[in-house]
Structure 1
């Protein structure tokens, strides 16, 4: 029997993530996926299942990577500079938005979060995928809420501010950036949206 070509499933999954992120679920044909993942159709079915099963695994992979990076940014307490100074919760939130803008929104081939894209493209028609996206947004909200609670305890927030409501506002602002970017908003406009979105936090 001919020897089956070996491949790294994690690397292949990352390649599928890249394809789905750039083209969307419907836009990524099975042929394109196989070519980009550098695997055979049988290897796909044996390792990942059908296209929808692969997409669910991609969403789980994306969530693991995105949440890990997000938590690292939002919970960081200091940074390496010639003069060390503490990184307050509000500065961490600002840094998170700046990172999201630079690495996701301004990426010409992607332009938005994979989960936000999926919420619009697939979510309404697929309850299981919609639940995955909803849970992801919930985790983002919880991470922002935790940072806002720290800001509240430190006296950084405006008097009378409600961290939970602010966390939901920030989630809306964050993922609105990708939508506006895809609609043609430029860098200056997107940065202005961040400034206004974050302006409600501190007095």
Structure 2
């Protein structure tokens, strides 16, 4: 029986691309069931794009300022992403919100991570908010992107303990390490098994 082709990943970045690098590293294993086929960004000259270029992965930049409206930018981004025929789109530190039209075009196959155990601590300052609240554990969440901010159906979560001497920086760094492991493992599982969505419940495997 022939081995199935790896799932095609398009990764969108806005910064250094450490999460992207984890996926690139995983893709070097011939047994990993997914491969990055393109990396896009909302700005040029970032390390995330350089990582992709060093790995020989096609890249593209879609700047909001190059379009007359946000809707035009969103449509152009969708056109470019769709041209690579992705099985899954991964937002890896991508700092722009995409529209529900973009999400519908990708067939509900856009995932993102959040550095907290959703639905706790949504938004840009989750590690600081967790530390300020005094929780004993926090973590990271992988979710299907919807029209809200960090509100999509949960695919996977990983727990990170909060230490008494943690700063925001030390806590966030440990979360990011766990987040990358979770992302690589779960994207591999999504590629291998597929998934279904029933209300807000994500279940691995095909119907």
Does the alignment reach a TM-score above 0.5?
no
Structure with bigger strand share is 2
For normalisation by structure 1, the TM-score amounts to: 0.24
For normalisation by structure 2, the TM-score amounts to: 0.24
Structure with bigger helix share is 1
- Structure whose CA Rg is larger: 1
